[in-house]
Structure 1
């Protein structure tokens, strides 16, 4: 394949990406990173390449990560069984200490190291730093699972202004110093809103929003808030997809231009979304524009 992909072809790819690079230059993109894309070394490498490339062409990238599978693995190694209620981890004091160790320590610093090895400049943070993510108990039965009450974007803004990529782990705190484990999708949504981000990208392990959850070919490429809320009422959006969609809706209603749910298992899906006509996954907009005669889904991605 490389033999037939000439230098002229490579140059053509770059020139086609140029309008999109220009469009997003200086804009803020918040990417929630996790799931399979985090656990597979090859995919992790490709996502980090995408983030570094965006950074080097002048796009302000904020990487927000969770690490549920790694927390579960660490708990298992320590002989502690994970318990979930409605998809949320029951988090006692010991569990939140382990979550803090895994998220703010191992995962966060590994991602920073990975980005820097690829030529990016990155600094790791947690939502506890600078009281970036203030939180309270979400549900007493869940223990130290946090609901975000306030976002202080100052530390992220300071780091971006100095030319670094902020890498933020989804932990929060309260005024008493209690630590809370926070859903990474929610953290990314709230941070994106506080930064007035151009895009919120949620990386998942499915193609996007499907009209039939058992049929990957039923991907819905684009819809607006009204259509999204209708699909929730009719049950097409259900189960674990509802919290992700609600994060997108909240972001769109609070300063974010567009939100995307995409498949993190697809190589370079972030670049495909931002720098091509076709885009990737499902884009949710505030209000869908009237399509032009020749418009495709991707053409509206960059309005």
Structure 2
């Protein structure tokens, strides 16, 4: 049809948008309807999210994560982000020609490496995440476990094949003071926490981000703990199959823990501690899947592995 006088023709490059067809509209409506009970369930509830793995070095995934966290905040939840930074730390150590070594699933941290860890986590990674979130509104505030003595730690022991090993300045959290985080949440902010803590002796410790997220979730009385990582979940019989365990109780996880790959141990140890100490559920999700966080919170299309307390392992629990 030829436009009449004064009409504005359609953009010759971008075709005019069309109303969604019945199936598309129905799908969108179902998605919104499906989210409604979860919006009610999680209103004003704290969700602690550990952001790590390869998702932290992929620009599109980082952008998607920031949008998802802000979406949670707008939906009435109170998100807290605890970030890792392993790939970035290893990259800088390689450039500085410093040894990258792990034992018992944890980075061996000499005083020299601790300086790099502190610089990368608090000076690079945290600032980038804060900036990405704040591109969508003035919400994110960065801090470390040192700030306001939010986390206090002591040197963490480690064993490999039953033998003690020295992993250096790797800390184990002994105390959490959540007051600063609660004050930020009450003001509508999104805390972004770097997993660094100070000991009673003044020593600075490198804290595994999974365990830091778990400790903060317990101290804050979080509804759930979400571990975003670069695996699909807990495999039932790795490496023989790639079948993911969708749901397990704390006791089931405790029995499985010794057989897990070393990199999964801190994640699942964190999940176990969280649900044993009051967090209603913990999830391990594939952070390589865009918007996996929103899918977990607001839909029934949950992937990954969910860990629940033994006493609440019923159909009345969430997914």
Superposed pair shares fold, TM > 0.5: yes
Alignment of structure 1 residues 185-204 onto 2, 5 Å: 185-204=210-229
Distance 1:164 1:215 in 2: 44
Count how many residue pairs are aligned between Structure 1 and Structure 2.
292
CA spacing shift, 1:57–1:215, aligned 2, 3 Å: farther
CA spacing shift, 1:226–1:175, aligned 2, 3 Å: closer
Distance 1:216 1:157 in 2: 42
Alignment of structure 1 residues 96-245 onto 2, 5 Å: 96-119=114-137, 121-139=139-157, 141-214=166-239, 217-232=242-257, 235=259, 237-245=260-268
CA spacing shift, 1:289–1:82, aligned 2, 3 Å: closer
Report what 1:301 is aligned to: 318
Q: Secondary structure at the match of 2:141?
A: strand
- The answer to whether the aligner puts 1:30 opposite 2:55 as a matched pair is no
Over aligned residues, Cα RMSD in angstroms? 2.1
Deviations 1:279-302 (A, max 9, x none): 1211111125444xxxxxxx8426
Distance 2:242 2:86 in 1: 28
Distance 1:280 1:201 in 2: 12
- The answer to whether the aligner puts 1:270 opposite 2:293 as a matched pair is yes
For structure 2, the residue ranges without an aligned partner over 5 or more in a row are: 1-17, 158-164
For the Cα contact (< 8 Å) 1:55–1:120, is it kept in 2? Answer: no
Following superposition, the deviation at residue 151 of structure 1 comes to 0.7
For structure 1, the residue ranges without an aligned partner over 5 or more in a row are: 292-298
Following superposition, the deviation at residue 239 of structure 1 comes to 3.5
Higher helix share goes to which structure? 1
Greater CA drift, 172-181 or 184-193: 172-181
Deviations 1:65-100 (A, max 9, x none): 110110111112222222222232221222111111
Distance 2:175 2:95 in 1: 34
Structure 1 length as normaliser, TM-score? 0.90
Structure 2 length as normaliser, TM-score? 0.85
